[in-house]
Structure 1
Amino acid sequence: MSDLPWSSSVATPPFTLRQLAYLVAAAEAGTIVGAAELVHVSPSAMSDAITELERLVGERLCVRRKAQGLTLTSAGVRAVADARLLLRGAHELYAALHTSTDALVGPLAIGCFPTLAPTVLPPLLSDFGASHPRLDIEVIEADQDHLVELLDSGRIDVAFVYDVRLPGRVKRTTLFALPPHVLLPANHPRATDPVVRLKDLIDEDFIMLDAPPSRENVLTTFAAQGLTPRIRHRTGNPEVVRSLVGRGLGYGMLIQRHSDFSDAKGFPLVMKDVSPPIPPVAVDVIWSADLMPTPRAEAVIAFAKAANWPLPAPVPVS
């Protein structure tokens, strides 16, 4: 006989979805106060709900210390992971019951690597969004490692990333591929060359996009030619790379191509293909291998696979 306080498949557990939601919010925020702000309740109500949940399940789920935030116990880590799945299922049930048509309704969280955002997000938010006006689309831009973590937790439904160092726990489909290119200030001595060689730039300062997987991909690219870049500045923002290069502080390397190669603030850039050619990097849409994709996620995956992505034309190579 089961030792759980309920045994029938139709019996209700002693805790509520609201208590589970408060626990997940507290885990994500790291503090009771921060979690209370997220769900618009008082900190005391949040704390009382979690305390009651712990009493009901007979386990301490978190340790709360003033000025040090909240830390999950081992039981709490498991409880949060399972609670996310239950809450996800509850949201799907609500969305299914809330509409009597085939229209897609409900939340859709899309993750995107920042340099892909100018290419990926406009079609998603305009074309896909217009086709499904009852969706509540949320976009989260983050580095690739964080996006995979968000997929694992169920916080996002799909993500658009580069196909570099992806873990086996995600499913994927490739959308398009682009080779890395070099950015130079418009007054650079090699700005008029049809292509550039990395070894001709290696003694100059390099502005590095320091966000995984771009960091690893760039260093691997240089290492494959027996080179080590002289890194002057690191930034996680591709627009900062473009700005610093435009101001003559060094050269850069990016994958995503802008259709406009000049800076509107008066610091123009040029984009150059590399010789010998660098293998292209694929862009994928990925989703969790462990969580069943929702109909909304399936729809955005299908859209991504069928989309004619508006990619800038590559620089001519002579």
Structure 2
Amino acid sequence: MAVRNETRVTQFILLGLSINPAFQTAFFVLFLAIYLLTMTGNLLILVTIYVDTHLHTPMYFFLSHLSFLDLTFSTITVPRSLVHFLFPRKTISFTDCMTQMFFFHLIAGTECLHLILMAYDRYVAICNPLRYTTIMNRRICLLLVVSTWVGGIIHASMQTFPTVHLSFCGPNEINHFFCDAHPLSLLSCSSTLINEIVDMVNSGILTLFSFLVLVISYTCIISTILKICSVEGRRKAFSTCASHLMVVTLFFGPSVFMYMRPPVTFASDKLVSIFYAIVTPCLNPYIYTLRNEEVKRSMMKLGGRIVSLLGAHKK
């Protein structure tokens, strides 16, 4: 009986975005700047909402949770990428690679479901304003947030566990700047048919479910907004919904392109990945903040408090 001599890969090499040292330096500066903006914007929203009791409402509770997800989402991929831009050794162990992929899809799946929650919150606030405080009470809000994490865990498990059981016997160079199911499946020396089916079904169900819920929610919301007699009321409602729709578009557009297809490689894959994994978490807080007068006023009050405290401390 012939025995197959198979060596299992224990680490991968992330090829990153470029092998040119000049480009790597440029990417390091760009990624670092975006990451610092992401941290600053999202932390500012978290602190502002925590400090200002007037913002302790379901809408801002969900907004603060979105900021936490964006912070975590960027931290999963950016710090390691920054290290790889600076040093020639760009390896990642098999265990670390699978761990990164699991948490990446955990946060991505959770954020996908969380955006649905935010749409549902706006639906109740605009379409059932008299029952809003009853329907969206603290207990229900917490249960809804927990349910998004449960959904994220299920999504991440279905994305990661089939990949863990693939055979990798070389080559071990991942044509990406972080570990993900598509580029990894291209390196497998075993059949990936089941993985491709699971991946398509998993991502398809999550994306289609989210899309249908969002379409139904915003159809009802827009229909109700158009019936509002007050011009100011319509403007405020449209402003809030426009911010959410911008975030939804930025998140779902690239995700559909990346995951609603077989694991083939396109030249634009890395650029799209940069957008939804790094740029979008940076843009979210600024989209909401710049269009939300309450948050801007609270931030100004917070800034005033900090200046007063610093002035008192100097005295």
TM (norm. structure 1) is: 0.21
Higher relative contact order (CA 8 A, sep 6+): 2
Identify, as 1 or 2, the structure richer in strand.
1
Identify, as 1 or 2, the structure richer in helix.
2
